Structure formats: structure tokens, C-alpha cells
Structure 1
Amino acid sequence: MSARLLLVDDHNLFRTGLRLIVQDHPSVGSIAEAGSVAEACALQMADADLVLLDIQLPGMSGLDGLRLIRQACPKARIVLVSASVAPDAVNEARARGADGFLPKSASGEDILEAITCALSGLPCFPAGSGAAQTQARAPGAATLTARQLDVLRLLCAGKPNKVIARNLGLSENTVRVHVAAIFGQLGVNSRSAALLAAQRMGLVAAPSHDLA
């Protein structure tokens, strides 16, 4: 079933660019837009599945309006979007009950991965922003979510996307999004390079056989 997404940002150019990215996510269906907390609440999207909510909004900020958005979209996951990635801003977002925090400087792959995490019920906060996040960091290297690590281990065992999807209960499109995000985090462009990088970072143990 396709997810209903609500974008709340007062900058039309950024909102349009964000829409062009998120509409390519395999789990996203309809996309609604609003320029303020008041406009978002007026849309009466009680069945929204995900809200990307800008912090800096006219009138009421995203932080202050999070509770109202939660009331208007009771089943939605809410990810705050901000030009700032300061730890205080991230921690404040978590304290207010946000399900994630996405910097405006994030790449398209990072945005798609954040959507995957949020729709899967996982928190998606920047690395190092708190103990509650479900992320694992290799010293001085990539930061991968728990689900990405699951995908990485199967990928390094030589499993194709179809098998990874079946083993983890995901769609193949979602697996492709995860693989692309993993490649981006590891700085590689192939499965064999991902295997070598993952071994070097200690993210996976040496496999018993080579990738085909």
C-alpha cells in the first residue's frame, strides 16, 4: 500500500526539489504540500503516513507546531527538516517527540533512506545525536542503520536483491534503496568493493566464499 506523504516547508523552491526526490521512493504514493503548520493542519490529512516538517516556518515553528501536526496526523511518522545540524537542534527534536531529523544538506539517497527508516517504524536521527538511535558506527567510517547492516551482511554473503528482500521481508525496491544508501555511506560503487570496505571497517566478518 502506498504511503501518503505531507511536505511542510514555506520555501517553494526547496519544497519542489524535495518533492522531486521523495516521489521516486517506491513506498510513497500521494504527496500533499503546505507552507505552514496552520496550512498543514487545515488539510485534514488524518490518514497521512509521513510528515516532513521544516523547523523554520512562518508563524509557528516546526518544533512548536509538532504537537498540533501530531494531533492532525495521528498515525503519521514526523521527521523534522532543518538547515541546522547542531546537536542541540537534533536533541530538541527528539525531546519534542519527533521520529527523525533530516538536515537540508542531505543527499537524495540520504533522504530516501530516511523515508525508508521512518515508514519502517525506525528512528532516523543523525549519527552521534543520542543513545536511543538505532545506528552502528564503525570508528572513523560510515554510519549505517540497523536495517542497512542487515542488508549489508546479506549483500556481503553474495545474496541477490531478491533473496535479501525475501529474507528481510522487504520489497526489492526497498532493498535497492538500502543498497544505494550503503554504497554511498561506504564510498563504493560495487558489491565487491562494499565487501572489502565492510571487512576493513569491521562491519562484517570475512565470508566463507567470494562474491560471484
Structure 2
Amino acid sequence: MPAHLLLVDDHTLFRTGLRLIVQDHPGVGPISEAGSIAQACALPQRDVRLILLDIQMPGMNGLDGLRPLRDAFTSARIVLVSASVAPDAVRESRARGADGFLPKSASGEDILEAISLALAGLPCFPAASTPVPPTPPGAGQGAPALTARQLDVLHLLCAGKPNKVIARDLGLSENTVRVHVAAIFVQLGVNSRSAALLAAQRLGLVHWPVADAPH
């Protein structure tokens, strides 16, 4: 089921731009917006699964707003967004209990990948911070929770097709395919296509010979 996402930033123009990026993520459904912590906590929806929260806001800032937002949206993961990329800002965000950190200078692809990680239950901090360990294959109960579209992408990926061809065959943009591939890697606990094929075969998701794997 697509995730309900909440954007909290006092700049309407930035929220609009961010919405245009995140709405292309296949795992994102409804998108709500708020200009402050108070407005966010007053929203009637409580099914929010991911919050992108600006740090620098008038009144209560994002760091101080982590606790009230967690109280209001108990199942949501919270990724802080900041114009600063200073190591101290990243460390404080982690220390305060944020689930991730995104600089406002991040590319659209980086933002979508961070959303994939966050929705998969993994931290998404800059690579210069503490590296994110992959989830071991089979660590969850049973097979990974891949969507029908992710399974389509996985089958074509395991057949050795590049993102451009997968996008053409499925009628998707290359960017959307990259997001699906990143999410598949997270779910399988791998970091390469050949490893994804081996994991998919082991889990019974694909059945063709390993020799068909991309090299």
C-alpha cells in the first residue's frame, strides 16, 4: 500500500518543489503539507508513514519538533532536511533520534533513494556519516515484501536488462526504475545485480539459470 507522506517546511515554494520530486516515488501515495510543527501536529490524518522535516523553521525548529511529531504520528519515520551539510548537524540529527538526514542540495535521485531506505525501515544519512549496513538476505520473516511492480522490475533485472530497457518494457521513466532497483536491493540485502539474482533465486522469486545473470 502506498505510503502517506508529510512535508513540513515553512517555505511553500520548497514544499512544492519537493512534492514534484517525491510524488514520482512508486512507494508514495497521499502527500500532506504543513508550514510548522504546530500545523503538522494539528492534521487529522494519523496514518503518515514518512515525514520530511525542515530543521530551520520559525518557532519550534525541526530538531525540537521531533518529539511532538513522533507523539502525533506514532508509526512515522522522520527524515530531517537542512540547508546545512555540516557534520555537526548530521550528528545532532542522529543523536536526537531522526531516521535520516537530507541536505536541501540533494539531487532528485538522492531524495528518492532516501525515501526508499526510510520506507524500508533503514536509516538514510549522508555517506560521509556512518555507513548504512545492508539488511542480510532473509533477515525478515519469509520472502521480502516486494510490490508487484518491483517483481516485474526484478525479473527483467535478473534477465540482464539495463534500466533503460526495463523502463521501455514497463512504460516507466528511468528514474522510477532506479528507485525500484534501489528498493529491491534494500529488500534483498544486496548491492549488485548479480547478488540480487542469486538472492532472488534462493528465495524462489526467479528460476532461470545463474548463467543468465548480468556481469
Measured against the shorter chain, the TM-score band is 0.5 to 0.7
Q: Which residue of 2 aligns with 1:72?
A: 72
Residue 100 of structure 1 aligns with an amino acid whose one-letter code is G
What's the TM-score once normalised by structure 2's chain length? 0.66
What's the TM-score once normalised by structure 1's chain length? 0.67
Following superposition, the deviation at residue 81 of structure 1 comes to 0.3
Q: Which runs of 5+ in 1 are unaligned?
A: 136-150, 162-172, 182-193, 196-206
Q: Which residue of 1 aligns with 2:51?
A: 51
Following superposition, the deviation at residue 44 of structure 1 comes to 3.4
Aligned residues: 162
CA distance in 1, matches of 2:13, 2:50: 21
CA-atom RMSD, angstroms?
3.2
Following superposition, the deviation at residue 15 of structure 1 comes to 0.5
Residue 30 of structure 2 aligns with an amino acid whose one-letter code is S
The answer as to whether partners of 1:4 and 1:30 remain within 8 angstroms in 2 is yes
Following superposition, the deviation at residue 34 of structure 1 comes to 0.3
CA distance in 2, matches of 1:71, 1:210: 46
Q: Which residue of 2 aligns with 1:176?
A: 178
Following superposition, the deviation at residue 130 of structure 1 comes to 2.4
CA distance in 2, matches of 1:211, 1:47: 40
What's the CA shift string for 1:82-115, capped at 9, x where partnerless? 0011110001001111000011001111111111
- Give 1:15-26 correspondences, 5 Å limit: 15-26=15-26
Alpha-carbon distance change, 134 to 175 in structure 1, aligned in 2, over 3 angstroms: farther
- Give 1:1-212 correspondences, 5 Å limit: 1-130=1-130, 133-134=132-133, 158=160, 176-179=178-181, 211=214
CA distance in 2, matches of 1:80, 1:101: 5
CA distance in 2, matches of 1:178, 1:26: 7
CA distance in 1, matches of 2:181, 2:4: 24
- What SS class does the counterpart of residue 58 from structure 2 fall into? coil
Q: Which residue of 2 aligns with 1:184?
A: none
Following superposition, the deviation at residue 177 of structure 1 comes to 1.2
- What SS class does the counterpart of residue 123 from structure 2 fall into? coil
Q: Which runs of 5+ in 2 are unaligned?
A: 135-152, 164-174, 184-191, 194-209
Following superposition, the deviation at residue 46 of structure 1 comes to 2.0
Residue 134 of structure 1 aligns with an amino acid whose one-letter code is P
Residue 66 of structure 2 aligns with an amino acid whose one-letter code is L
Residue 177 of structure 1 aligns with an amino acid whose one-letter code is V
CA distance in 2, matches of 1:80, 1:49: 14
CA distance in 1, matches of 2:45, 2:71: 10
CA distance in 2, matches of 1:114, 1:210: 27
The answer as to whether partners of 2:24 and 2:176 remain within 8 angstroms in 1 is no
CA distance in 2, matches of 1:63, 1:129: 18
Following superposition, the deviation at residue 209 of structure 1 comes to 7.7
Following superposition, the deviation at residue 2 of structure 1 comes to 1.1
